[in-house]
Structures are given as C-alpha cells and as structure tokens.
Structure 1
Amino acid sequence: MTRMEPNPRSGGIEDGLAARVHDPLWLLARQWQLGEFRADDAGSPAFVDVTGETHCLDGWRAGAAGVWQPWDVAAAPIERLVEQENADPATDPRLRLDGGVRWLRTLAQVPQARAAFLAACAWPPPAPGLAARGLTAAVLARSPDGAQVARSLRLLLADGTADAEAARLGLDAAARAHVTAAAPSWLAWWDGHAPHEAQPPASTAPVTWDPHRMEHTFSLRASSLPDVELVAPRYTGGRLDWPTVDVAPPSQAPSNPARPTPLTLRGVPGPARFGGMPAQRFWEMEDAQFDAGAVDAAPHDVARLLLVAFATVYGNDWCVVPVRMPVGALIRITALTVTDVFGRSTMLGPAAAIDPAWNLFALTDDLAPGGSSPWFLLAPALPDSLEGQELESVLLARDEMANLAWAVELRVPDAAGEAADRYDSWAARPRPAPAPSPIAHYRVDTDVPDFWYPLAPEQPGDSAPVRLRLVPLARQLGGRVVEELPLGCVLEESRLPGDPLWLHEEEVPRSGVRISRRCQRARWHDGSVHTWTARRRGAGAGESSSGLVFDTVEPPTA
C-alpha cells in the first residue's frame, strides 16, 4: 500500500496556509460529476411561520380522585403544593420555643408571672431517646411551651374559666392584670402562625403521599383543554419536570372551561449550534472537546454512527426557530410553514406523522399512536432550592437471612425538632451484664435494635398479591411486655387508628429504599419565598442484616 504525505522542503508554513489551487477547472468538473450543481437542496430558508395553541395549567389535585383545586403558576411552585406536609403548626418545636421566649420577654417586668408560666407551662417529657441535647436542651428548660402558653392565655381571657386558670397559675391581682393586658397582642402573633380555628390534621403526611408506595401521586390540568389530564403516578420528590407526568383520559371535565390562547409567530431561522460541530470557516480551529474520530462505535452500533454522521456531515443543515412560551403550559404546533429565498413555501409536519415511535420531549400517552402525545409541556420547575439537614431518614431493606423486610428508622426529630440518631440512643442505653451460668441456655430468638421494625409478608385474600405489613416487635421493659412503634413521621401510619401500615411487596427491592425528610426554601419567579418540609425517596444501600436468629443455644459461662 502506497502512503502519500507532504514532504516540506522549508521550515516555513506560508505555502501551506496559502492553500493554492493549481487546477480549479478540474475541481469544478469533479463537482459537476458528483452532482453538486443540480441544486437539490433548493433555496435557503428565509423565514418561518408557526401556528399553534397554548393552554395554561390552572388546576391540580391530590391522587387520581381528589378534589380539583385552583392553582396560579405565577404564585407558588407546584413542588411546594405537592410536597408540603400537612402538619399542625402548633406542634412545631421551633414555633413553640419561639412563642415561649417571646412571652417571657413580655413578662420581663413581672417576675412572679414569669415563674408561674415557667412552672405551669413546662415542656412535656420527650419520648425515650428523643430528649433535646446541648444548648437547645438548656433553652427548653428555661422557657415555657408556646402551645401551652396559648392554651392558658385563652382560659384567662374567657369568662367562665379565668378565675380557675389564674388560681392554677398562682397569679396575684397585679400579675394577672399585666398578663391579661399583654395576652391579646401575643395571641394575635401566635394565631398568625398557628390558627386557633384550624382543625389539627390526623396525619402529617402530604395530601399527595401514598403510604403504601412511599411516593407522591397527583394530577394537573388546564381548564381550556378538557380532553387532556396530566397524571404523576410515582413522583419521588425533588425537581418536578415534564418526564414526571403522563397524559391520561380526564376523569372529570372542568365546569367552566377557559378558551385557549392562540400562538402565532414569524421568525427568521438561525443555524443550529452544538458543541463539537464542524467549523464553517476554512482556517477556523476545531473544538478540541469533541473528537469524532475517537468515537468508539462497533459496525452494528447504528445509532452512534448516525449521530457522528449527523454531526460531521449534516450538522450545518439544521435551523432553529425560537418560540417564546408561557411557563406551566401545554403547547401544540398545528402548522409550520417554511418560506425560502425564492419565495416558495413548504408545509412541514411533525416527525411522529412519519414514524410515531420517534419523538423528542414528548409526553407518554398510551392512547395516542406510538404512545406519544402531541402536546409539549413547559413545566414550571424550580430553578434551584436550598435544602436543610436531614430531619428524618428511614431505610427499607430486605433481610434474606431472617426472611423478612425491615423498616429502619435511622434518624427522627427529637423534642427540639433536630435530627437524633436512633442508633446512638440505642447504643447508649445501659444493659445489665449477663449472669454467669455453668449450663447452656436455649434462646428462642436474638435481640434486634429497637429502631428496626419488621415488615412481615401477608396475603389479604386467596388471589390478592402479597404485601408487607409493619408488625411491632414485643419487648420486655421493666418487667412488662410492650410493643414499640415507630417514632418518626414517615412511618406514623402505624400509630394511627385503623388499618396498619403496609407496603406493596415490589416497593422494597433488593437494592433497598431510603425515605428522607428535609426542609426546603426556594424563591419563585415573582420573588416570593416559599418554605416547606419535603419527603424524598431514593435508592437504598442493598440488603441488610438485623442479626435476628431463631433457636440458638448459648454456651455456658464461668
């Protein structure tokens, strides 16, 4: 094989940069032979006319059968509406601490009233292992509980209970007069954060939370588009973008449908630009971040080869027409007309009309041809948000050795609302030393940490699928047998009356699942600040071992 390469005779590069053509007629003949003068590409696009319709999202609901609620895209992010917990503000430890400190400052000139409220409105004892620590514990010991202060002040201002409450607090006439005068102002502040008329919710879980799958479920719609409903069957939390939702037939048409907003645009198309595309100028340096010759593609890797061919050969044949769309809207292009420099117009149809299986940024619609919807969703996703430290963490894992699945509470909020490590609390408990025994002992089962809760398999019916039900372990504490239940909010369904907490079996894979709770803070497009506590679902750490063993024999100890 003969290899042809240049052999320079001088050290300069002037001749190479000149790029002289010694026989331009030969090059023109070769272009004629290859058919480059036939003008198959026709004229270049001069302008583009776009026609379509826009439908702004204005309603959402929890689950698939909830009540539709109005929603203004410009007022609040959908992530806050979907993820925020349904907790009673009066139970927030931070708010209760803030209220107690504010009330003590109000009584700065009345020492007798300060001492009375500190004694009568002290914080309730926390659950075992959830006591506050450090500086927070010292502050809680020196301030009253804001929720109990509010309850006591309402009794002091009521006609039938004022004297009895003053006697319980031990207030004299002067202290009672000062407290009665300062109570309305403090109660107005408290009711602004924790409304007294509001009914405390039975559960702190978000209205969209599915406790049987540990995920959010909600729906979105535009009242001007009654035939389309967007359903998010399995939203794990985080950033809500267009892949989260699918198109589904509407279960309930809007009562007052609005009119769609027409979309008309005439623009000049610009060349498409992407990193690594071939340079247009002769002496322009190529982008070193992309090397088309270094793409590792096998002969049967057609998709990768087509991508390289597009980038190197047809990259300069594509144009872009920017279309301004409202955020939080469904858009459909009904007509796209391209007019070239010769004045000829060409109507372009969607790519899915030729191949329904080929689509980009298309919503899933099982009823549409090819499974893709013609509607494009410009989702009102949060640009960014600030996340606080992990308040609660629950691990769902399988234990093949024990033939069980477990719900492990790694962290839960303590009495001050700060994350407490349950393993540290369990390890710090005093344990009596085992008494020496000259004989062997038989044990039915071994001990499991108190923050491990078994998920036992059960089958509700003959043909029903197997599900995992949370069953508390019976433990012997202080000479009596008790059943310990979870302490956090993620597994609080096990403490509520009614059906016990259960999960679908497929929701606990071998890789495990981790559910966490964090405080979120974000700024929306109108400049407003939104804060909420969100739940996130992520991957676990694989299988776990609880150390549970049945039917063991302990050897004798001297």
Structure 2
Amino acid sequence: MIIQYDPCEPFRAYNRLEGRPREEELEDSLAAKIHDPLWMLARQYQFGELKGEDAGSAIFAKAAINTVRMSSFTGGNGQKNPYTEDIPLETRVERLIPEIDFKLSAKLGKKFFLLLDEEGLAANPSSPYAAGMYRGQLIHKFPFSLPKIEEEDTAQVTTAKARVLSLQQASSFVRAMAGRALNGRMLWTALGGDFSKINTLVLVSNEAASPDKFILASHKAILLEAAKKWISFVKKELNLPENDQDDSWYEERLEYSFRTTIDEGNTSETELKADEYFHGHLDWFAFDVAKEKESGSNGFDDSVRKREVLTVIPAEASFAGMPNSRWWEMEDGSIDLGNLKASDTDIAKILVTQYALQYSNDWLAIPYDLPTGSFAEVEGILVRDAFGQNYFVDAAHKEGEGWNEWNMYALSVDKDEFEAPAFDKRILLPAVAAKTMESEAIEEIKFIRDEMANMVWGIETRVPNGLGGGMDGYEAAQNLMSTFERLIKEEEIEETIILPEVNVNAVDSKATTYKPQLKYQLGNSVSENWIPFIAIHQQGSNREIHFQRASMPRIIELYEPHAIRPRTQLLRKGINENDNQLTPMYINEEEIPRAGVKLTGTYQRTRWYNGEIVSWYGRRKRTGRGEGSSGLRFDLVLDNKR
C-alpha cells in the first residue's frame, strides 16, 4: 500500500520556556530569572509598555463633599413626622399590625404577669402586694377558650367560629392553655393601646369584688404602671404603627408609598418620594425627587449642611478576580476572565470583559465615611501626580449637558409630560438594614387573571395557622368543610316520618321508569380559598375600571346561602370578625398584569447598628407565573348518571 505524501503539510514544533531546577530548594526556580535581559525588553516593547505617556502616578488628592440629612418622614396617614434612626427606614415603612396568634398571645400574657409582679413587689410596703395575687382573676377575665357554636348563631357567626375549630393544632394549644395562661390578645383588644382603660378592673370604695372588678384601690398605681410598660413592650417587640392609618401600605396598589424630606440648610427643602416600593429591600433606587428644591437664602446653615474637604492618598480600586497590573505577579485563578464565551449580541458581557482586562487598573478610590440618611454631592476632585501636576476631575454628568449623559446613582426628578427628564446628581444613602432574616410565609396570595371567567382571582395559597405560622390554603378550606360536615351529622333525625297522603289512582302519582339522559346545573363551585375580584367602573369614569372584592356563595344544609370570606389579613380588609363586610376592597386594574402577582406576608428580623434586634411584620410583592383558570362555569347541561 502506497501512502501519498502531501508536501504542503506544515511542520509543527512546540517550544516552551521553563525552569529546570537542579537543587533541592525552589527559590531560584520560582524567581523566574532570565539570562538575556533583552528578551524582557522586547516583550515590554511588544506589549506597548515602552510608549511614552504624559501621565504620572497620583500621589494625593483633594475632594470637596457636601452632605445634607433627611429631616422628616411622611407615611400613609400623610402626617409629617421628624426623621429618626432608632429603627431602620425599611422597618418604619414596611411594618404592619399583625394578627396576634394564640402562641404570641400566651407569651404576651406571661409578660404582663411578670411586669405586674415586678411593679407590685417594688411598690410602697404600706400597700402589700403578693406575687401572683391577681393571677386567677385575670386568667378568668381574659381566658383562652374555644368558641362554641350555638343554635341561634347566624351563618356568618357560625363560619367565624368554625374557622377557629378547623385549626386542629391551634385548638389543641388553646385547650392546653385554658385556665393556665392569660390571653394577651384579649387584654390588648380591651386596652386598645390606652393603659388607662385598665381602671375598669379597679374597685371603688366599699365595692364588693366581682369577676369584672377585683383590683384593690390601693393597687391601682401598680396596675397602671404595669399596663403602661406592657403596652410599650408590645409596640416595641412587634414594631407596631400607631394605627391602621399610620402604615404605608396601599391595598389599591399592593405596594408601599411614603415620602421623606431633605433640609437643604438654606430655608429650602427637597422632597423624596417612593410611591412604588414592594421589593422587600429598600435602597436608593426606590426614591425619586418629587420636586426640586426651591430657591432659598444664599447662605447655608452649617449645622444642617456639612461641607468637608479631604486630603488623602488615593488607593487603587480592585474587585474579585481583577487582573494584576504587574507582569510577573501570580493571579488568583478562581475567576478566568479569558474563558468568558460571548456572542455578538452579548454586549454586556463583552463590555465587562473589556473593562476587566484593559481598564480595570485605571481607577483609584478615595474612602469617605458617609452617615446613613444622607444626600451627598462631590463638588470636585483635585489630583496631583508624581510630576507635581494638578488635575481637576469634573463629574461625568455636568450641568447643562444632555440628559442622556452617563451617570450613576442619580435620582430622577418629576417633570411635566412635555419637559425633558432631569436628574439630581447627588447620591442617597438611606438608613436601611444591610441584611435581614425572613420567616416562612405566614400569608401568601396569588392574583391571577381568569380570561374564561372574565375576572381576577386572589388564591390564598398560605393562610395563618393560629400558632404564628402558615398552612396550605387548600388544606385549610378542606378542614373547614369537614367541620361543617360534622355539624350536619350532629343534627338530630326525626324519629317518625309522616308521609303525605297520595291518591294511588291518580295519573300523576303513578311511578314511572323513565330516566332523562341530561340534567341542568346552574353552576359549579371552586375551592373556598379562591376569592373572586370583579371588574367595575371607577367612580366618575365610564372607561377606567378597577377590581372589587366579591364572594362566592357557600351552600350547606344548615344555613341559607351566605358569602365565603377570605382568611388572610390582606384580603379581609374591611371585614369584621363575624364575616360582615363593612367597607369594600378595590385593587387598581394595572396592578395585576397577565403574568399575575404573588403577595407574601412574613416576619422579618435584623440587627441595627446600635446592636438592637428589630423585628416586624411586612409584605412583599413578586411577579406571578401567568394566567390561570378556576374552572368556574354556569348553565351546564350534563349527563344524568344517577
């Protein structure tokens, strides 16, 4: 066999420079010594390191920085309050009044007994107080007890009681606490945040003790002080707003809305607004400038507006995986920037790679400690190099240039519809938590659009379980139906059944064996954790619509048809404990897109910079997973299989 030789095949040879150590120590080998220094100069020439540049290394820099602070906070009630940093700003914004569950209720009741004994034992000996002196009477006044369904109860009242009885674990907890613990929820409801209402338990002169009044008049001051400290403890422990109107949650938009004010120090103010905050982490990008600062006096108040000039030695800015500027310096191989695969359309990846490989060592950093809650502006930076030359560095976004010039961390300013967009060039550092711990969802509602039924559904996928946690919404709905079924079975059956008299000779009374093939059904039903929202016109408009909370009927044998009410705190807005709707609930049409919305309610916990642990209950909105179908249909013609 003859193999033809291709004379055009290239000759391949591979050469590599490597050290050949001949000694036990590796110091000389790792030094990477070069025998011919001209080779190193040639490599420097190839890489352009011998090209001259009219630039020197920066040896020091001066920076002028102006700083102003937040001065006020405006929540959902529209009332402007002084701004403080005793708690994180996102806690002040997100906190809501949670539903006090049975486990938390027992904890709060135990705290009240501790405070009462503490105040009583420290009181004046002229009015002796024994530890646990009123324990039995208080437990009897504010007990743990399960509701009992009575015959005279309406359908709504029965449903409210059945919801509690359907929570099996919570019911077992209540039975265990009955007669042993104080119900802190009942005590909180009775006081309503006013410690003076505890006076209803104090006996007046020559009055006999009763289950409703049993505190001696000599112990009135003890009880008032204990109630005052207990209310303060509850508000601080749960970070409660003053009332429902004091929180920043807007159910029409399913998001938070608030405003802060910046005192410019020249008798003028700048208002910052955050009308669409729902992310769960508050930062500078949630704010916009509601209105530009008005012209004030020419002078500045030094106690409000702080101006500082720094003289520092700039340091080289770096990031993880950044290539080293020295040729023979060993690099960290955890990030291989040269192995990034980018196509022609991966513009962002190409820009990042080019910056990291070519321009990453061109940046210098000047450290500056900026207090939280500040709005800062860098007037300019003066840099001096090794040759003694001074260079003034302007901002990339100068005044008077186009709005589309490059800028970072700038806040947009509200303008009229036909005005060019504007930006505030300063940087905002809000006083927010760096990291928070979040509990599992206590409440979770998925809003979906159902085009077949032409409505929106709020699906309660997680509902409170009564013990500070959440449970599956479908399971909760099934447990409630099981509770109703047990009530139906408990109904007494009549011992004798009296049948009506029938004329057997009449034609209508004769039996027939005919069975219709079809049957008519008015409509089917859906799971009780599906809450409907129907589209209605907004008031005063015949075009714009919003969604109003509606209800499906519950049809059982014991009661007349009645409305199915939601179980989550969000969807029960305007519904009292007996399932009577006091006010309707609306959601703006644009807040529920075709992708849907998922809303969760969780407890959050963080440690503030003063070392204090802060906890609160808040909500977060996320994008859903598309449209859905409830299967709800009306006017059905079905096969008669009976």
Q: TM-score, normalised by structure 1?
A: 0.81
Take 2:257 and 2:423, find their aligned partners in 1: how far apart are those partners?
21
Take 2:564 and 2:40, find their aligned partners in 1: how far apart are those partners?
93
Gaps of 5+ in 1: none
| 2:78 corresponds to which of 60, 66, 84 | 66
Aligned length: 539
* 1:117-516 map, 5 Å: 118=140, 121=143, 123=145, 125=147, 127-131=161-165, 132-134=167-169, 135-142=172-179, 143-146=181-184, 154-159=199-204, 163=208, 166-167=209-210, 185-186=222-223, 188-194=225-231, 204=244, 207-224=247-264, 226-249=268-291, 259-299=304-344, 304-353=349-398, 356-366=404-414, 371-428=422-479, 429-430=481-482, 438-439=515-516, 440-460=518-538, 461-477=540-556, 478-495=558-575, 500-516=584-600
- 2:563 maps to a residue whose letter is E
Assess, with a 3 A threshold, how the Cα gap between structure 1 residues 98 and 378 changes in structure 2: closer, same or farther: closer
Q: What SS is found at the alignment partner of 1:58?
A: strand
Q: What SS is found at the alignment partner of 2:59?
A: strand
1:304 deviates by 4.1
Assess, with a 3 A threshold, how the Cα gap between structure 1 residues 506 and 15 changes in structure 2: closer, same or farther: closer
The answer to whether the Cα contact below 8 Å between 2:63 and 2:382 also exists between their aligned partners in 1 is yes
1:76 deviates by 1.5
Q: What SS is found at the alignment partner of 1:372?
A: strand
Q: What RMSD, in angstroms, separates the aligned Cα atoms of the two structures?
A: 4.3
The answer to whether the Cα contact below 8 Å between 2:205 and 2:217 also exists between their aligned partners in 1 is no
1:221 deviates by 2.0
Aligned to 2:53: 39
Assess, with a 3 A threshold, how the Cα gap between structure 1 residues 510 and 501 changes in structure 2: closer, same or farther: same
My pick for the range that moved more, 329-338 or 91-100, is 91-100
My pick for the range that moved more, 342-351 or 352-361, is 352-361
Aligned to 1:97: 106
The answer to whether the Cα contact below 8 Å between 2:575 and 2:582 also exists between their aligned partners in 1 is no
Assess, with a 3 A threshold, how the Cα gap between structure 1 residues 103 and 379 changes in structure 2: closer, same or farther: closer
Q: TM-score, normalised by structure 2?
A: 0.72
Gaps of 5+ in 2: 1-8, 22-28, 118-128, 148-159, 192-196, 490-513
1:123 deviates by 3.9
Tell which structure's C-alpha radius of gyration is larger: 2
| 1:471-492 residue CA offsets vs partner (Å, 9 max, x unmatched) | 1223334231212322332123
1:276 deviates by 3.1
Assess, with a 3 A threshold, how the Cα gap between structure 1 residues 247 and 219 changes in structure 2: closer, same or farther: same
Q: What SS is found at the alignment partner of 1:425?
A: helix
Q: What SS is found at the alignment partner of 2:174?
A: helix
Take 2:185 and 2:49, find their aligned partners in 1: how far apart are those partners?
86
Take 2:583 and 2:275, find their aligned partners in 1: how far apart are those partners?
23
Take 2:243 and 2:365, find their aligned partners in 1: how far apart are those partners?
50
Aligned to 2:508: none
Take 1:519 and 1:69, find their aligned partners in 2: how far apart are those partners?
25
- 1:72 maps to a residue whose letter is T
- 1:80 maps to a residue whose letter is T
1:84 aligns with 2:78: no
| 1:96-116 residue CA offsets vs partner (Å, 9 max, x unmatched) | 434555788989999998389
- 1:39 maps to a residue whose letter is E
Take 1:222 and 1:43, find their aligned partners in 2: how far apart are those partners?
41
| 1:30-72 residue CA offsets vs partner (Å, 9 max, x unmatched) | 68x97945433x2221111100200112311125x82211122
The answer to whether the Cα contact below 8 Å between 2:317 and 2:361 also exists between their aligned partners in 1 is yes
Q: What SS is found at the alignment partner of 2:162?
A: coil
The answer to whether the Cα contact below 8 Å between 1:216 and 1:237 also exists between their aligned partners in 2 is no
